[in-house]
Amino acid sequence: MRETMNTVTSQYLTSLVGALEETDRRREAIGAQLAELEYVLLQTGETELAAQVTRVLGDKYYKPILAKAEELRGHEQS
């Protein structure tokens, strides 16, 4: 029984890790598209729209990445 539970738990965790990795890939793709949009808007003089995209990038993408990096640094120093 215990071996079955360990197998099921391992499979479930593997599935979750795969889903998280896919989510990260999607997040990176969306972030790249937003960064490209920001660049195009700046090149065409749409500074107000570019500023809105910059805020989204900062709030949704840059801040979480920086927070995760800080968290990982904290674990390395422990």
The CA-atom distances, in angstroms, between 3 and each of 9, 17, 46 are 10, 21, 60
For residue range 16-73, what is the model confidence (pLDDT) as tens digits? 888 889 988 888 888 888 888 888 999 999 999 988 888 888 777 777 777 777 787 7
| pLDDT for the residue numbered 6 | 85
| pLDDT for the residue numbered 76 | 66
| pLDDT for the residue numbered 77 | 66
What is the domain count for the chain? 1
| pLDDT for the residue numbered 45 | 94
Give the domain range for residue 52: 2-77
